[in-house]
Amino acid sequence: MTLTRRSMLTLSVGAAIGVAAGMRTGPAAASAEDAMAKVKEFAGGAEPATGTITLDAPEIAENGNTVPISVSVDSPMTDDDYVTSVAIYADGNPSPEVITFNFTPLSGEASATTRMRLAKTQNVIAVAKTSKGGVFMDKKEVKVTIGGCGG
Amino acid sequence: MATVKPRVKVPKSASAGEVITIKTLISHPMESGQRKDKEGNPIPRKIINKFTCEFNGQTVFSCDLDPAVSANPYLEFTAKVNEAGTFKFAWVDDDGSVYTHEQEIALK
Amino acid sequence: MKKQYLVSVAAIAMAGALSTAAVAGGPVDEKLVIDGEIEMTTRTAPPEGHPLDELISGWHYRTVETRALETDSFENPGMLGVEDGEQIWNTVEGTEGKSCASCHGDAAESMKDVGAHFPKWDAESGRPINIELQINKCRTERMGAEAYKFDKGGQKPLTAYIKRQSLGTPVSIDLSQGDMQSWWEKGKEMYYTRTGQLNLSCATCHEDHNGQFIRADHLSQGQINGFPTYRLKQGALVSVHNRFRGCIRDTRAEMPAAFSDELMALEVYVTWRGTGLSVETPAVRQ
């Protein structure tokens, strides 16, 4: 067998997949089940509906250390109808909790932005609870590129 | 080196009833408790675990942070301004320290 | 043939990535404007004798989210370091009872554009010095304070604060001073010398393959106009000699010490390679 350009390419792709698949082992990651258990706990038994809440996260994060995420929920934000809190979870981090935003009618809008850590490619989940008992969820997969040059 | 220092961006004035955007950034390592030092000993967790924003004594927004929030935590949120007054911001550290910042806003 | 596979899996993976990467490569064409006001020169024609057709800031090689972080001086986390630097500028230290401000006053005036023209020739020591070494000169000769050790104390924030006063100013260094030209030559030689177990030179990645991917990393031209740079990886300001050492380590070579003759020569040469690009300190990179 000769080392053709194609076989070399295959080899390097194989190596890259090996890396992505976790040759770089870190602390034990939370499973998708752990994250969903947290969602359930936060929702207090209610089944989260889709829509109403929008989670913005990059499709590809250049570095998992600082990933900007934004969440916003459609709500009148009045005294008798507002979003009380939005919790963010990540289903591939050492533990699923990321942050919980607590709103009041004085927030004006139910929207917030922060920057989070992602240990690897995984789903980020946002769940909102309203003062009227509504529960809404959105989910985005963020691919984290591993194998960049260190510093 | 770094002393913990909050930075806050609030507009100087707003119209009554206007929803404004507030941005905050605080220098803090957000040590996750997942890392080890050169000798292999775990580095204890030390993060900002809570942030609150009050306006004239009433809570506008707060959040509970976990170690998955990046170093130098950045928070952006909104507030509805009905009157002139003072925003009070507080960041609570795992070690019990509370870092605070105040900023006034006028009505247009 | 088997033997060849075994040469170095890492080297093959890297070479493979380099050869296949053109698919999604290339710098992004966009404009960098800071705070909606300061227009930055991030693409420019090279100086005479430069091997590249166009000089492109590393900003163009980053994702939309990373690029956005640099456009707003509030959201740029590197500005926390710059603010630390401002505090240090005004803090008295050493036996002479002086701060930087005691001699230099308001940095916004006295340091305006200064950072864009380092490294400079230092006749006293007979070698080029960068801002870090100039700060140490001031500390030991004027303030009666101890020199900062590499990357320690206030070195990174103070350097960043001084360079921030040149935000937007095109980089240009004076090679006619003293012996600068021979240090430039020495730096150039280093730039093109393959080194380490992976047998890579600076030029392999940053001249021959910029715009392509080395595994997951989008290779830039390796410009240093934004240093000290806030790197998301470290979540902190990173100095240019730290970055040089990081790159050299990644080739699996012995790393020269910070501020050594080797790295000072490299800083002179690599700074020249970015002639005309705006100072972006603190840039935000991956």
pLDDT tens digits, one per residue of C29-73? 889 999 999 999 999 999 999 999 999 999 999 999 999 999 999
> Looking at the complex, does the CB of residue C233 fall below 8 Å from at least one CB of chain A?
yes
Domain end residue (candidates: C134, C164, C194): C164
For residue C72, give both structure tokens. 């707003």
Angle at A133 between CA A131 and CA A139, to 5 degrees: 100
Please name the residues in contact with C152: beta carbons below 8 A apart, sequence gap of 6 or more: none
Tokens of A6: 């194609």
Nearest to A135 by CA among A71, A85, A70: A85
CA distance B55 to C219: 47
pLDDT tens, position by position, A17-36? 434 443 444 456 768 889 99
List CB contacts (< 8 A) between C74 and chain B: 7, 9, 23, 25
Beta bridge partners of A114: A69
C243 touches chain A (CB under 8 A): yes
Judge whether residue C260 has pLDDT over 70.
yes
CATH number of B5-107: 2.60.40.10
DSSP state of C123: T
Q: What whole-number distance in Å separates Cα of residue C130 and Cα of residue C187?
A: 14
Identity of residue C282? P
The span from the CA of B70 to the CA of B67, in Å, is 8
CA distance C267 to C265: 5
pLDDT value at position C229?
Answer: 98
The minimal CB distance from C13 to the residues A3, A5, A12 is found for A12
Give the residue from chain B lying closest to C155, CA to CA.
Answer: B1
Residue C232 contacts A, CB cutoff 8 Å: yes
Q: C158 and C99, same structural domain?
A: yes
Same domain, C269 and C213: yes
Residue C253 has, within 13 A of its CA and on its CB side, a CA count of: 19
Q: Which of A1, A66, A70 should be substituted to probe chain C, the one whose Cβ sees the most C Cβ atoms within 10 Å? A: A66
Structure confidence by residue, pLDDT tens digits, C95-112: 999 999 999 999 999 999
- Domain harbouring C123, CATH code: 1.10.760.10
**What are C151-203's pLDDT values in tens digits?**
999 999 999 999 999 999 999 999 999 999 999 999 999 999 999 999 999 99
Tokens 């076989």 belong to which residue?
A7
User: How far is Cα A42 from Cα A127, in angstroms, rounded to an integer?
Assistant: 8
Judgement on whether residues C41 and C150 belong to the same structural domain of the protein: no
State the residue range of the domain holding C1.
Answer: 1-30
Peptide bond into A48 cis (omega under 30): no
Kindly state whether residues C61 and C194 are assigned to the same domain. yes
Q: Which of B5, B27, B69 to mutate to test the interface with C (most CBs of C within 10 A)?
A: B27
The answer on C264 and C174 residing in a single domain is: yes
Q: Are residues C8 and C135 in the same domain?
A: no
Q: Which residues of A touch C (CB under 8 A)?
A: 1-3, 5, 8-9, 11-13, 15-16, 19, 58, 60-63, 65-68, 145-151
A chain contacts of residue B68, beta-carbon cutoff 8 Å? 90, 93, 95, 97-99, 116-118
Tell me how many domains chain C contains: 3
ipTM for the whole complex: 0.94
Does C4 contact A at CB distance below 8 Å?
Answer: yes
Report pLDDT for B5. Answer: 83
End residue of a domain, out of C105, C132, C164: C164
Peptide bond into A76 cis (omega under 30): no
Q: Are A124 and A118 in contact (CB under 8 A)?
A: yes
Q: Does C215 touch chain A (CB under 8 A)?
A: yes
Gap between the Cα atoms of C154 and C132, Å rounded: 10
| Residues in chain C closer than 8 A to A13 (CB atoms) | 16
Contacts of B25 in chain C (CB under 8 A): 74-75, 77, 80
Both tokens assigned to A50? 């889709």
- C256, C148 contact by CB (below 8 A): no
What is the arithmetic mean of pLDDT over C101-126?
A: 97
SS3 C192: helix
Kindly give, in sequence order, each residue whose CB lies less than 8 Å from that of residue B105, ignoring residues fewer than 6 positions away.
Answer: B10, B11, B12, B13, B14, B20, B81, B84, B85, B86, B87
Rounded distance between C-alpha atoms, residue C146 and residue C87, angstroms: 18
Q: pTM of the prediction?
A: 0.85
Q: Are residues C133 and C183 in the same domain?
A: no
A57-115 pLDDT, tens digit each? 999 998 899 999 999 999 999 999 999 999 999 999 999 999 999 999 999 999 999 99
